[in-house]
Structures are given as structure tokens and as C-alpha cells.
Chains A and B, each alone.
Chain A
């Protein structure tokens, strides 16, 4: 490594940029290039860190050179570098999209504030991914929760206030549960550092099993609230549907996933596989995950607003990820991580194209979308590709994650979940197919069905198309990502 301070460069860069934006007080038009370049540089730095980790190995970084028992430690290994790269890629694409979209939604003088918040959001997400210290994770989670609520409420409409307030209250209760659990863990292990806790945890488990049980219960409940596991997902439809489209994309594809990363860390890096199995956690998680897969889709069928449909669909897809997590096997974990990435790509494509439709036509009800495929063919094509991936058509990455998940489920000898996965795919088809069909096949009431190209700004079309292309390429060549994931899984489970 060139410089021992390397890992924090990207983090500090993002934080500095977010502080600079309000300080500089430049008009929004001139700031776009600055924002994009900051993200691009952060992306390049993370890529360099990832390549270094692949070549040499993982390493830790102590802030201020304090010993990890009393200071904060960052862990840069195959998992955290890879996932930070994923977070930064998606954020870059969504950011480019949001330039034109946000001008439509909020006042000009608030745009700088919005981007400050977005940068702090990305900063905290990368922080959670890298951190190796429990309380540091809590602090980053709080920052993340605050900024994600604020990028919902920055749109000055009635429903955003109420939904963001509800999101805030529930999110805080969740964070408090997590903090309570961390406190109970600290009581028995005496360490806040993940690595050091792991060494002591088996001794602590012999001496104080009830403590650890309570701690895990609280932490999992808190994480379930924030990562929208059924039945604690109730804040998600309101929050994700009333937010502006770029924020919904960020929230749905990245923010909820980061909490799953912390679940990975706590369950596998702090507790370890034996304790997790002894506590009987896999049964709970897989049960609620399966309920989420089915009920999320059932609720989505009954919705009329297109963004609410997508929000409930997120609940169902998060069920898949939790199912992979709950199997506590290397196959399950790999399938879960693969679905995190493929769902991130597909859901952002869906939200961005829904946002483009709202931007151009100002219509959100799915019954009003007849014939829209002729006015906005590229947008609807992106939507179709992503929706077919959600249903599970071969050739798009959603299918591959279902296959990997099915093999993991069968490997853990629980065939009932396989049938649930397929039933859930069919339910997905019930609510996605009518949207696509009415967009391309029904007659629009306002104009004749002649195909014209979308009249959208290029900065909105290009990220959507890149996301759809990414889904297609990953669908045909999943090994591109699977190799990286298979290197990342051993950092949690052997």
C-alpha cells in the first residue's frame, strides 16, 4: 500500500465534499461536475483497494493509531471492498440520474442541501461496510437513518412529512433496540471491537447464555425493522413511494442492504456459526423471510400507485435475501449476496424508469399507463427488462439469483422453501405483467400508438440503460460477480 492511511481516503473525501457543498454556496448548475468527479474519484480509490485486497490480502486500519480495544478499527477485506465498490457504482448512476429529476421536484435553493445529504448518506453507508467496531456501526447507522429520512422529507408534500416522520420514529426504535443489544453484548464480552469480541464470545456463551440470547433478540429485531423484514416492514411502502424517485432508488437498492451487511457482521463475525445454530436463529429468520416473500407480493398485487407496487416488491425481494441469510451455509450466503447485487441493479432500474414516467407524464396510477410504451419506449424497455428479471426469466440476473437460492435451499435440506420461491415468482408475474402489457398493448386515451423516442434528458436515460444492460450482462455471465462473491463468503463462514 502506498500510504497506510489509504482506506480512509474515500470516506474522508466524501465527508469533505458533503461539508464543502453548503460552504461553497455556488449555484447548483456549476456544482454537478464537482459532485460527479468526487464520486468517481472515490470509486477509483475503492477499486484500487479491492485490487490490493485480491493481490495481497485483507488488512485492518486503526483510526489515530489507537489500539483496537479502545479505538475505532476499519476492516478492509474482500467483502467490504467489493460491497463498497457496488455501493459507489449504484450511487454514481443514481446521482447522474437525479440531476435533472430533482430540479423537477424541489426548489432550486434546496438542491445543494439535497446533495449534501446524499453525500453524507453514501459516506455513512461505506462507513458501515468498512467498520469493525460495534458502536461505530451504531453511530453510522444513526447518521444513515437521519439522512435517509431527510432525503424522503425534502420533497415538500403532505404525504412525505407523515411518512418520513413514521420512518424516523420506527427507525429510532430500531436503532435503540440495536444499541440495547450491543450493550448487552458489551456486558458479557467486554469489547466493542468485532474481532476481539469473537475471540471471547465462546467463553461468554458458556457463562452467560441468557445475556447473549437477549442481545441477539434485540439486535435482530432492530435490524429487522431497518432492513424491512416482514412483519416489521410497515414503514417501507409509505417512505419509498412518497420520496422523490432518485431517493427511492437509493433507499430501496442500497440503504436497506447496508443493514443486512451489519446483520452479516454481527451474526457471523461476532457470534460465529456455532452459537447462531445453537440459538435456533435460522428457523426464525427463514420463517419470517418466507412469509415476507409471499405477503410482500400479495400486498403488491392490491396497489394502484406504481411506486407502492415497487416498494412492496422490495419487501418480497428482501425476503429472498433473508432466506439466503437464514440458511447459514456458504451457498445460502453466496446466493444472498448475489441477490443483493442483482436486486440493487433491478430495483434501481425500476425506480428510475418509474421516476422517468412520473417526470414526463406526471402519472402514477397504473391504470393510467396505457399505451405509454409508445411514448417512452426506452424507459419502458428498461422497466420490462428489470421486471422480467424480478419474475425470473432466464437471461436476466434475477433468474440466476433464484437458481442459486434454490440450490442453497436444497443443499440445506428444506425443499418447502423451494416451492415458496417459485410461488413467489408467480405472484411477481401477476403484478408486473399487467403493467408491461398495458404499456405496450393497450390504446392510450390521449394519443395514437406511434412509437417515438423518449423526450427525456440524456442524463436520465443513460443511467437507466446502463442499469438494464448490467442486469442483462449479469444474467448471461453471472460468474463475473459470483467469483468475487465466492471470495467474499469465507470472510464470514467457512
Chain B
């Protein structure tokens, strides 16, 4: 039991990111408000970024700034952090686009609740 808790604490980043992913997925699943779905998506994205960046951690490594002293140093892996910057940009653009879509949906339907929108759509196709 103790090793179990110890291993969780050692890998707390990964555990947290999985937990965040599940929380985000739950949000997208259960809330019918479109804005909350977008927030859920953002939480999921943050979870993945956290996961990716934590891969780059090397035990007892230093920040990846070149030491002009010439000693051989153990650096953490800078590649994931660099890559995730691109990922964050992508996430921001998706959020921006989805928010503008929500505005247009509100203009068209008058509501941003998914259940009400489906009812309006259902009436339209029946009537």
C-alpha cells in the first residue's frame, strides 16, 4: 500500500494529467451548455500538455540553458516544452473558433443550451 502511494506521488504529474483529462471529458459529456463544453475541452487540452511536458523531466536535471563553463551537465529534455508551445497555440485557436461559433449559434437559435437547441431542431424538421 505504501509503495502504491509512493509511486503515485512520484508520478504525480502523470496522475494529475489523467485526472484532469477525465474531469474534462466528464464536463464535455454531462453539461449541456455549449460554453461549458468548450471549457471542458480546454481542461482536456491542458491535461495533455501537462502530460507531454512531464515526459521531458529528467531526475535531477537542470534547466536547459547552456552552461558556458564547459562541464558536462544533466539537462532536462527541452524538446517537449518547445513542442507544447505549438500545441498551446493550436488549442487557443480552436477555442477562439469555437467561441465565435457559439456566438453565431446564439444568434441563430437564441439559446446556447444543447437540449433546447435539439428541441428547436426537432420541431423544425417535424413541422
Q: A164-B101, A168-B101, A172-B41 known; 6 other A-B pairs, CB under 8 Å?
A: A159-B121, A161-B105, A176-B48, A186-B52, A186-B55, A187-B55
Interface locus among B1-9, B62-70, B83-91: B83-91
**Given known contacts A161-B108, A179-B48, A180-B21, A135 and B83 CB-to-CB distance under 8 angstroms:** yes
* Chain A residue at smallest Cβ distance from B41: A172
Which residues of chain A have C-beta atoms less than 8 A from B80's C-beta?
A: 186
Which residues of chain A have C-beta atoms less than 8 A from B45's C-beta?
A: 172, 176
Determine if A40 is an interface residue (Cβ-Cβ < 8 Å): no
State the Cβ distance, B3 to closest chain A Cβ, in Å: 18
In the assembly, what is the distance between CA of A192 and CA of B79, in Å? 10
Determine if B109 is an interface residue (Cβ-Cβ < 8 Å): yes
* Chain B residue at smallest Cβ distance from A141: B90
- The answer on a CB contact under 8 Å between A165 and B105 is yes
Interface locus among A1-9, A23-31, A84-92, A145-153: A145-153
* 20 A-B residue pairings within 8 Å (CB atoms): A135-B86, A139-B87, A139-B90, A145-B94, A150-B97, A153-B101, A158-B108, A161-B101, A161-B105, A162-B117, A165-B101, A165-B102, A165-B105, A168-B94, A169-B41, A172-B94, A173-B41, A176-B48, A180-B48, A183-B55
In the assembly, what is the distance between CA of A158 and CA of B102, in Å? 12
- The answer on a CB contact under 8 Å between A158 and B109 is yes
Q: Name the interface residues of B77-121: CB closer than 8 Å to any CB of A.
A: 79-80, 83, 86-87, 90, 93-94, 97-98, 101-102, 104-105, 108-109, 117, 121
| Contact flags A27-68 to B (C-beta < 8 A → 1, else 0) | 000000000000000000000000000000000000000000
- The answer on a CB contact under 8 Å between A179 and B52 is yes
Which residues of chain A have C-beta atoms less than 8 A from B37's C-beta?
A: 169
State the Cβ distance, A211 to closest chain B Cβ, in Å: 11
Which residues of chain A have C-beta atoms less than 8 A from B87's C-beta?
A: 138-139, 179
Q: Name the interface residues of B36-74: CB closer than 8 Å to any CB of A.
A: 37-38, 41, 44-45, 48, 51-52, 55
Q: Name the interface residues of A158-192: CB closer than 8 Å to any CB of B.
A: 158-159, 161-162, 164-165, 168-169, 172-173, 176, 179-180, 183, 186-187, 192
Which of A146, A153, A164 is in CB contact (< 8 Å) with B93? Answer: A146
Instruction: Report, as a range, how many residues of chain B touch the other chain.
Output: 20 to 34
In the assembly, what is the distance between CA of A153 and CA of B97, in Å? 11
Determine if A70 is an interface residue (Cβ-Cβ < 8 Å): yes
Q: Name the interface residues of A174-230: CB closer than 8 Å to any CB of B.
A: 176, 179-180, 183, 186-187, 192
Determine if A273 is an interface residue (Cβ-Cβ < 8 Å): no
In the assembly, what is the distance between CA of A186 and CA of B41, in Å? 23
- The answer on a CB contact under 8 Å between B105 and A162 is yes
State the Cβ distance, A210 to closest chain B Cβ, in Å: 13
**Given known contacts A159-B121, A173-B41, A180-B48, A165 and B98 CB-to-CB distance under 8 angstroms:** yes
State the Cβ distance, A217 to closest chain B Cβ, in Å: 14
Which residues of chain A have C-beta atoms less than 8 A from B108's C-beta?
A: 158, 161
Which of A139, A145, A169, A183 is in CB contact (< 8 Å) with B48? Answer: A183
In the assembly, what is the distance between CA of A165 and CA of B41, in Å? 12
**Given known contacts A168-B94, A168-B97, A173-B41, A161 and B104 CB-to-CB distance under 8 angstroms:** yes
Determine if B76 is an interface residue (Cβ-Cβ < 8 Å): no
- The answer on a CB contact under 8 Å between B97 and A146 is yes
Which residues of chain A have C-beta atoms less than 8 A from B86's C-beta?
A: 135, 139
State the Cβ distance, B23 to closest chain A Cβ, in Å: 13
Residues of B whose CB lies within 8 Å of any CB of A are 21, 25, 28, 34, 37-38, 41, 44-45, 48, 51-52, 55, 79-80, 83, 86-87, 90, 93-94, 97-98, 101-102, 104-105, 108-109, 117, 121
In the assembly, what is the distance between CA of A186 and CA of B77, in Å? 12
In the assembly, what is the distance between CA of A217 and CA of B121, in Å? 35
- The answer on a CB contact under 8 Å between B51 and A180 is yes
State the Cβ distance, A304 to closest chain B Cβ, in Å: 10
In the assembly, what is the distance between CA of A146 and CA of B104, in Å? 17
State the Cβ distance, A21 to closest chain B Cβ, in Å: 19
Which of A158, A159, A169 is in CB contact (< 8 Å) with B28? Answer: A169
- The answer on a CB contact under 8 Å between B44 and A176 is yes
Which residues of chain B have C-beta atoms less than 8 A from A368's C-beta?
A: none
Q: Name the interface residues of A336-372: CB closer than 8 Å to any CB of B.
A: none
In the assembly, what is the distance between CA of A165 and CA of B95, in Å? 11
- The answer on a CB contact under 8 Å between A70 and B79 is yes
In the assembly, what is the distance between CA of A149 and CA of B93, in Å? 13
In the assembly, what is the distance between CA of A289 and CA of B102, in Å? 34
- The answer on a CB contact under 8 Å between A173 and B44 is yes
* Chain A residue at smallest Cβ distance from B106: A161
Which residues of chain A have C-beta atoms less than 8 A from B109's C-beta?
A: 158, 162
Which residues of chain A have C-beta atoms less than 8 A from B97's C-beta?
A: 146, 149-150, 168
Which residues of chain B have C-beta atoms less than 8 A from A159's C-beta?
A: 121
Name the residue among A145, A153, A161 with the largest chain B CB count within 10 angstroms.
Answer: A161
In the assembly, what is the distance between CA of A168 and CA of B100, in Å? 12
Which residues of chain B have C-beta atoms less than 8 A from A146's C-beta?
A: 93-94, 97
* Chain B residue at smallest Cβ distance from A139: B86
In the assembly, what is the distance between CA of A385 and CA of B52, in Å? 49
Which residues of chain A have C-beta atoms less than 8 A from B28's C-beta?
A: 169, 173
State the Cβ distance, A482 to closest chain B Cβ, in Å: 38
Which residues of chain B have C-beta atoms less than 8 A from A139's C-beta?
A: 86-87, 90
Which residues of chain A have C-beta atoms less than 8 A from B48's C-beta?
A: 176, 179-180, 183
Which residues of chain B have C-beta atoms less than 8 A from A168's C-beta?
A: 94, 97-98, 101
